[in-house]
Every structure is written in C-alpha cells, then in structure tokens.
Amino acid sequence: MNKKLEQLFQRKVHGKVVLITGASSGIGLTVAHKLADAGAHVLLVARTEEALAEAKFDIEAKGGKATIFPCDLNDMYAIDDVSKKILSTVDHIDILINNAGRSIRRAVHESTDRFHDFERTMQLNYFGSVRLILNILPQMMERKAGQIINISSIGVLANATRFSAYVASKAALDAFSRCLSAEVHSHKIAITSVYMPLVRTPMIAPTKMYKYVPALTPEQAADLIALAVVKRPKKIATGLGRLASITYSIAPDINNKLMSIGYNLFPSSTASIGQQEKLNIIQKAYARLFPGEHW
C-alpha cells in the first residue's frame, strides 16, 4: 500500500468499530492488526478462544484495542447469541468484514458420494455470513451508515475447477450482496465484495503444490481489504480476476478451454496421503501466467 493510501486508510478507520470474522489466523488476523494499528477498535470473531486471546494480547501490546467473541460460525444459533453479545458491548459497528471461510479442493466427479462437502461450504461461507449480516444490518440502517465487506474469491470470476463447492458458496454470497446493495443504498451502507486470489494462509497449506505457485501474502491481502475500506466500491479484484470476468462475459468458450487446460495440468490433491506435489516446468509456466488462480 502506498503512503497516500495508508494515510487515507488511517483517517478512515481511526476510532471506528470493525467486526472481523475468521480473525484468529491468516487474512483475518493480519487485517485485524492493520486496522488496530490505524486506531480502530477491532471485534474479533473465530471458533478458538485461545487463538483469539493471543491475537487480543498482541494487538493490545502495541497499544491497540481489541475485544474477542468466540463463536462457531457454522452454528446459526451461536451466531445469534454472539451478535447479541457484540451489540450489547459496543454502541454500533461501522464495518463488518465477513472473512471466515472453508475451502474444499475436489473435482465434481470425485464428490458424487460427498454431498456434505457442498453442505459444509454453504453452511459457513454463505449461511454463516448471511446470518451475521441479518443481525448486524438493522443498527447500520438505523444509523444510516456502515460498510459490509465480504471476502469472495477469484474463483467466482474465473470459474475455478475443482472448487465447485467453494465457488458456489461464494457466488451465492455475491448474489445476495448485489441484491442487498441496492436495498441499502439510500441508507448510505456500502456492500463490497473482494475477489481474493490465492493467499498463502493455513487454509491452503494442505495442498502441497501451492508451495510452488504464485500467491499473495496475508499482508498483500490485507492491503486489498484496506483499499475496499477507503474506496467503498462494489467490488475489488486483481487484474487477472477482472480479465477472467471479462473473458467469461464475452468469450465463455475461451474461458472454459483455459480452465480445462489448467484442470488437466494440475492433479487432484494428494494432501490426504502426505505426498509432495512439486510442479514440472509446464505447470510452473502455466501457474505464472495465471497468478493467484486456484488450481
């Protein structure tokens, strides 16, 4: 992030209250530190209380302000309960960042007896986010102020193979957000989708070959979210994500062929049996042509 944008970000979030899900590791933890360093009061939500407590300790050690709310975001009633606790703790929420998510890398034909993969991704990535939004939205509408940032995926724009369960859940949240955006426009609430490319976080660690493909650092991912906070656009995407979206809109067959090539170049994951998935020269070249794409 350049110096000017950093200054705008600090002015934008200083003194604000920001709720972040999936805040105990990866992108969520990194953006929590970035917000707290800029003077925001961060509300951290994740499943593991010990990890949240450690994050709170680290943020406060630097002079930041953090409050933790352990919650299993797969449980709709737990989301209702934690929402009540949050809204009784703070006067309002300026920004909600729906970051928590689950990703599954598996081809459709390998999932014919794994319907639960689709249920689990939809439960957390879509229903969990929607449930939290439904709980937080009324106070934003009453104040006529706020922003909801949903962390989506480049796979939604590029139709990433082997990620049908994950991409479908994120696409559902996108569609919900587009409808909501028009409804809350007059209430001065911004809805932003961030189409995140591959990020080197614990979520992708089980897929060994991702060690050898281009990916953003959590800090770079946090910069994209910071840009979303400053600009309040409908969407944020990398250059490749925008190109993929345009390609699919005007030439879907080309998009399909490119994705098919990638699908056949990169094997199904062997993470479950612990094999290393080093890439050959052709795979490396293809991955560099499409940096940040999920294969």
Active site residues: 166
Pairing of strands 146-153, 65-70: unpaired
Q: Based on the number of CB atoms within 10 Å of its own CB, is 256 exposed (0-12), middle (13-18) or buried (19 or more)? A: middle
Which residue(s) pair with 66 in the sheet?
42
3-state percent helix, strand, coil for the chain, nearest multiple of 5 = 55, 15, 30
Alpha carbons 60 and 58: distance in angstroms, whole number:
6
Q: How far apart, in whole angstroms, are the C-alpha atoms of residue 262 and residue 243?
A: 16
CA-nearest of 66, 85, 91 to 132 is: 85
d(CA 54, CA 65): 13
Contacts of 219 (CB under 8 A, 6+ apart): 30
The owner of tokens 């795979």 is: 283
Q: Which of the 8 DSSP states describes residue 270?
A: -
Distance between CA atoms of 135 and 190, rounded to whole angstroms?
16
Alpha carbon distance 152, 30 (integer Å): 17
Strands (E), 120-270: 146-153, 189-196, 235-237
Inter-CA distances, 103 with 63, 169, 201, 216, 269, Å: 34, 10, 12, 17, 13
Cα separation, 265 vs 147, whole angstroms: 40
